[in-house]
Structure 1
């Protein structure tokens, strides 16, 4: 506590604040230059303990990646969890009841009741959420037995422009797209980072059995492995289950902070989303028959959405052409030709350059397109000023988009601040809907995960050979360390290495001879060899060391459970053999599929642009004339606005989609408010009931203690 005039106290306070700020800046700069994977939070950082204790908020913002092992086919982990939880933990006990003599009808009835009331929560390792969010998802599944899965509102976390872009993108996707799917049909994708699934839905016919099939065709790699959560939801919808969205159930997950990682993530999501959408639309008639929540009108709505996403690149080119025409005063057709040249060049480069080079070029072009988008926005505003009215197609389109986003944000008051990122989102539209579409389609044959991967360990023979070669040529051996510092003090070389969570200090004399090379046939001591042959003891030792003050109890699996895991590994988790001929065939099939898909995709955009070009060349002969209306409602008898039929059709279709999504958002907000109020009421009642029970039990314990006291003590 400092008093008025206490110069020393105020000086110390100001000095501590400056020191704290300086430490924050220095630690942030230090971590920023560390060569580590992203989403590792501060798991293996050199200053981790000090940094997280002093600057915990900034530490959480500088989220980097946990080292997640690489799987061939990401749905392997889902198969493992589901077969263990649903097969071994749930289904096995009812099978034992049947073997013990219980009537089959009773066993099936008990099993059905148990599976309908058993839920599985799917999470990512970096997802943060509150228990109330899970309870809100549980409410959806308890109230409606036809609901097979429910997802919540996902908030991306992190820092930087890429995260800001994704914050608004996620917001718009949840505010409008997911709400419209929930209200008029079913949510098409319940993300694996935060979703709740019903056991009965997962165990239904043609779901887990089809979900666990081995990918043998090129299309399977795109649809199944590149978006496993979307593929699982497609199976649920086709089987008749409903997928819902609860806006009040919020969760936070790490988003890509680097441009390259973002492009690689969307390179997987884009083709997978398109493949699953086409699969659902292809079986639309059968899905409408089996799923009561999906109607023919909803299928038509999805067809419009799919068509709009396919024609996204052409739409961006038309926007850029409009800015060229207004700013530089060139003819519309010349402006359109200039707008088409850069994406065509980038398309040709993507077929001939490596993926990293493609992403680098896309990053540079994104900056260029951001300036063009600024010109496009200013050209729309300038056109309204010159015409003296906003009742033009471009003016109405721009004002309706901005107004709808603002009104939608007002209906989400806790997320209204995300509207600030909307300007960055609009500047990045060419990057997200033009360049990213080209990159995703051209690299469709690349079925690697692309994000959250780490280099796997090298084989022992290769590692030994590499060590021998490095030692013989006196070259440093590459090691998996987070930080390495070396210094020379008197006659000693001091080296400090920080790996995962281990510190190794090497001390060796300067004049000491180098260690002898390690040969491939080098014989290890029997003690080390025995330790290496027993990975279980090493894993247990690591687990005990990591647990620190927590006391661990060791329990061994029984024989039946061991057999279950062995059978599961043999049937579903066993790595596929390296069949060179099969691998080459799959690569050739993937390239062939890529070529066909890109041809259809870009020919649709080319036809749209060519049709617009010829309609502009023909001029007023095929244009639609509409009267010029001023803001006050008066009509200019001599003023006419000309529209080409294709442009008018696109504007009407896009406006119809936005209107549908806006109305769905309004209805969903009302339902979310009712659900949240009901949940708060029941939660408060439950808390009061628990507090009353706790108070009564406490009073009872006190009364028993008083009764047990001797009479003299009570007196």
Structure 2
């Protein structure tokens, strides 16, 4: 069926694979993870393509999870695969999707309060001033936690998509440095006061990824090495949880795929543009293979001069005296027909001569 509403469009067109999985689970099918499976598809290889792809994935995933929760009661009755803990997990993922930007902003503000402003509570609970990196930025936590995300949202409403992504990229660099300060500040806060909300958040985040790596290690040992990339993930938390969420929300009306578009050339039929299309490359590859096979067959065939001509048909003594043997080599069907007619006429003429000689 065709999409008639915006939510249906996000499910049918922007995340059809997620919708298919949801429909399979709703109808009692069991989905299993296959670690050895391989797929040939388009994957993001640049920051820009990654943002465009996630702009399509985030809303479609959220809509499919909400659809799943709306039908959770019927699904649990009709399917023995779906359990109540799994329903709780899906509900938690939906809640986290909405709370991730705010929680990230709070972590940034709390870390900057310790690292930049330099106010770290001591063991007695009193504030002690330590050497600060940027002491002049008294309101840095408010700037990076509230002001810049709100400004980016308004810029997404007026700027073009490419400009929005470029701005998010530069903000990502800036927030990478900020997260370095946040990490230093939170580490110092851990040493001074372990029982804080920021400590629980960081430890919970690290525990999730470490547990996932251990569970996947028996099937994919390389996942342990990928866990080391968590340092880069830590620096990119504001970009992924705040700016990507804002970008997806501000551009929810876009219908492009995100990973398969290319800029149109001024000359639509230019061979240079077509050369990089996979279908064109496949046709060129097939043509080269067919030509190569023809050349190989021609090289294996013996030369024309080495082929001995066929022996002429045996003739009777009278026929050999009346005319020389003629070997016909027609080149096509018309020549073959004319040659056959000429041979029949010659045979009739010879028979007539032989009949006349007998009568004489």
TM-score of the superposed pair, with normalisation by structure 2: 0.65
Give me the whole-angstrom Cα distance separating, in 2, the residues matched to 1:334 and 1:544.
Answer: 64
Q: CA deviation at 1:403?
A: 5.2
Specify the alignment match of 2:32 in structure 1.
244
The 5-angstrom pairing of residues 454-465 of structure 1 reads 454=262
Specify the alignment match of 1:500 in structure 2.
275
Give me the whole-angstrom Cα distance separating, in 2, the residues matched to 1:225 and 1:342.
Answer: 32
Q: CA deviation at 1:289?
A: 1.5
Give me the whole-angstrom Cα distance separating, in 2, the residues matched to 1:546 and 1:281.
Answer: 54
1:355 to 145, 150, 161: 161
Give me the whole-angstrom Cα distance separating, in 1, the residues matched to 2:205 and 2:154.
Answer: 33
| 1:322 pairs with 2:110 | yes
Q: CA deviation at 1:500?
A: 2.0
2:233 to 407, 415, 425: 425
Q: CA deviation at 1:392?
A: 4.0
Contact 2:27 2:79 in 1 (8 A): yes
SS in 2 for 1:276: helix
SS in 1 for 2:167: helix
1:266 to 54, 59, 62: 54
Give me the whole-angstrom Cα distance separating, in 2, the residues matched to 1:264 and 1:385.
Answer: 40
Count of residue pairs the alignment pairs up: 267
1:546 to 1:287, Cα distance in 2 relative to 1, 3 A: farther
1:480 to 267, 270, 281: 270
Contact 1:221 1:447 in 2 (8 A): no
Map Cα deviations across residues 173-207 of structure 1 (whole Å, 9 max, x no partner): xxxxxxxxxxxxxxxxxxxxxxxxxxxxxxxxxxx
| 1:398 pairs with 2:202 | yes
Give me the whole-angstrom Cα distance separating, in 1, the residues matched to 2:150 and 2:231.
Answer: 27
Q: CA deviation at 1:292?
A: 1.5
Specify the alignment match of 2:346 in structure 1.
none
Give the number of the structure whose alpha-carbon radius of gyration is greater: 2
SS in 2 for 1:246: coil
Give me the whole-angstrom Cα distance separating, in 1, the residues matched to 2:285 and 2:113.
Answer: 66
Q: CA deviation at 1:391?
A: 4.4
Q: CA deviation at 1:239?
A: 1.8
Q: CA deviation at 1:271?
A: 0.5
Specify the alignment match of 2:132 in structure 1.
none
Runs of 5+ unmatched residues, structure 1 = 1-212, 458-465, 467-476, 483-497, 502-540, 552-715
Specify the alignment match of 1:436 in structure 2.
244
SS in 1 for 2:82: coil
Q: CA deviation at 1:409?
A: 3.4
SS in 2 for 1:247: coil
Give me the whole-angstrom Cα distance separating, in 2, the residues matched to 1:342 and 1:421.
Answer: 27
Greater per-residue strand proportion: 1
SS in 1 for 2:158: coil
1:251 to 1:300, Cα distance in 2 relative to 1, 3 A: same
Q: CA deviation at 1:282?
A: 1.0
Specify the alignment match of 1:453 in structure 2.
261
Q: CA deviation at 1:405?
A: 3.7
Give me the whole-angstrom Cα distance separating, in 2, the residues matched to 1:369 and 1:350.
Answer: 18
1:301 to 47, 66, 89: 89
SS in 1 for 2:3: coil
| 1:229 pairs with 2:33 | no
1:300 to 1:407, Cα distance in 2 relative to 1, 3 A: closer
1:384 to 1:292, Cα distance in 2 relative to 1, 3 A: same
1:429 to 1:544, Cα distance in 2 relative to 1, 3 A: closer
Give me the whole-angstrom Cα distance separating, in 1, the residues matched to 2:247 and 2:118.
Answer: 30
Give me the whole-angstrom Cα distance separating, in 1, the residues matched to 2:253 and 2:274.
Answer: 35
Specify the alignment match of 1:285 in structure 2.
73
1:236 to 1:408, Cα distance in 2 relative to 1, 3 A: closer
Q: CA deviation at 1:215?
A: 2.2
1:451 to 1:326, Cα distance in 2 relative to 1, 3 A: same
Specify the alignment match of 2:142 in structure 1.
337
1:446 to 1:301, Cα distance in 2 relative to 1, 3 A: same
SS in 1 for 2:31: strand
Q: CA deviation at 1:454?
A: 3.8
Q: CA deviation at 1:478?
A: 7.2
Q: CA deviation at 1:237?
A: 1.6
Q: CA deviation at 1:273?
A: 0.4
Specify the alignment match of 1:219 in structure 2.
7
Map Cα deviations across residues 363-393 of structure 1 (whole Å, 9 max, x no partner): 0101111111111111111112233xx4444
1:414 to 1:353, Cα distance in 2 relative to 1, 3 A: closer
Q: RMSD of the alignment, in Å?
A: 3.2
Q: CA deviation at 1:353?
A: 0.9
Higher relative contact order (CA 8 A, sep 6+): 2
2:179 to 373, 378, 392: 373
Contact 1:223 1:276 in 2 (8 A): yes
Contact 2:115 2:184 in 1 (8 A): no
Specify the alignment match of 2:64 in structure 1.
276
Q: CA deviation at 1:297?
A: 3.3
1:438 to 1:401, Cα distance in 2 relative to 1, 3 A: closer
Map Cα deviations across residues 42-66 of structure 1 (whole Å, 9 max, x no partner): xxxxxxxxxxxxxxxxxxxxxxxxx
Contact 1:380 1:394 in 2 (8 A): yes
Q: CA deviation at 1:400?
A: 4.9
Map Cα deviations across residues 441-493 of structure 1 (whole Å, 9 max, x no partner): 11000111122124679xxxxxxxx9xxxxxxxxxx676354xxxxxxxxxxx
Map Cα deviations across residues 238-284 of structure 1 (whole Å, 9 max, x no partner): 22222221334455765311111110000000000011111111111
SS in 1 for 2:4: coil
SS in 1 for 2:32: strand
Contact 1:242 1:291 in 2 (8 A): no
1:303 to 1:398, Cα distance in 2 relative to 1, 3 A: same
